[in-house]
Amino acid sequence: MIIAIDGPAASGKGTLARLIAAHFGLPHLDTGLLYRAVARDVRRRGGSLEDAKLAATAARALDPVGLDDPSLRGPGLAEAASIVAKVPEVRAALLGVQRAFAAREPGAVLDGRDIGTVVCPEAAVKLYVTAAPEVRARRRHLEMTGRGEAVEYAHVLADIRRRDERDAGRDSAPMRPACDAILLDTSNLDIEAAFEMAVGAIARKVGQRRRT
């Protein structure tokens, strides 16, 4: 069973994906780490994130084994990942890695921006997790200040909106819900309530597929 979870930054999709994977006993891949790793490697080579050729080269050379690098979850790579992710050659190079992970038995949970639309359009269940930009910015702001970072809420909100625009507006695999995705708005939900709703929706979807 493949479960595809998409949505914008700070919507809660990553936390939900980890909880859902643990609940169903499936491996989990945060596909955003792949793009963060590409951005990291471009920087290590001293190149510009806007250099499409260098970004594509880094993507083709990427070793997924290194996704446990703690630096990938640092605050500086989120924006950088969004920049390299708009390069079609980068997305093409990473597509096989993602699909190979999804092909594992008995299945997998993948979260990202285009899992249900491009990477795994045949997924048994597709969730699109979202929330109002202001809510997502507040969550991200609390997360960052909790790490001791001095950052203004207005700056975080501007970053959230800029990234939404870039991810939804790119020519290659834009961020959008799959036509058969289950929409889950977490604006007014804590993680426990969101998890319960997600598991219930997954169970109903799987049940429908089995009946048909």
Q: In sequence order, what DSSP letters do the residues of 92-140 get, joined into one string?
A: HHHHHHHHHHHTSSS-EEEEESSIIIII-TT-SEEEEEE--HHHHHHHH
pLDDT in tens, the chain (212 residues): 999 999 999 999 999 999 999 999 999 999 999 999 999 999 999 999 999 999 999 999 999 988 999 999 887 798 899 999 999 999 999 999 999 999 999 999 999 999 999 999 999 999 999 999 999 999 999 998 998 989 999 999 999 999 999 999 999 999 999 999 999 999 999 999 999 999 999 999 988 777 76
Q: Which two tokens stand for residue 148?
A: 């001791």
For residues 140 and 119, give the distance between their C-alpha atoms in angstroms, rounded to a whole number.
27
Look over the chain and give the mean of its residue pLDDT values, rounded to a whole number: 94
What does the pLDDT read at residue 212?
A: 63
What does the pLDDT read at residue 73?
A: 87
Give, to the nearest 10 degrees, the angle between helix 52-60 and helix 32-44. Answer: 120
Q: Of 182, 188, 187, 185, give the one whose Cα is nearest residue 202.
A: 182
CB of 48 within 8 A of CB of 54? yes
Q: What is the CATH number of the domain that holds 118?
A: 3.40.50.300
For the chain, first and last CA: distance in Å? 16
Q: Is 77 a domain residue?
A: yes
Q: Is 23 a domain residue?
A: yes
What's the full length of the chain, in residues?
Answer: 212
The residue segments making up the domain with residue 126 are: 2-203
pLDDT tens digits along 27-61: 999 999 999 999 999 999 999 999 999 999 999 99
What does the pLDDT read at residue 76?
A: 78
H-helix or E-strand containing 3? strand 2-6
Q: pTM of the prediction?
A: 0.93
Q: What is the dihedral of CA 183, 122, 171, 198, to 10 degrees?
A: 20
For residues 64 and 104, give the distance between their C-alpha atoms in angstroms, rounded to a whole number.
15
Question: Domain total for the chain?
Answer: 1
Residue 77 CB neighbours (<10 A): 21
Q: Is 210 a domain residue?
A: no
Q: Of 118, 102, 113, give the one whose Cα is nearest residue 3.
A: 102
Q: Is 146 a domain residue?
A: yes
Q: Is 212 a domain residue?
A: no
What does the pLDDT read at residue 186?
A: 97
Q: Is 176 a domain residue?
A: yes
Q: Is 141 a domain residue?
A: yes
Q: Is 208 a domain residue?
A: no
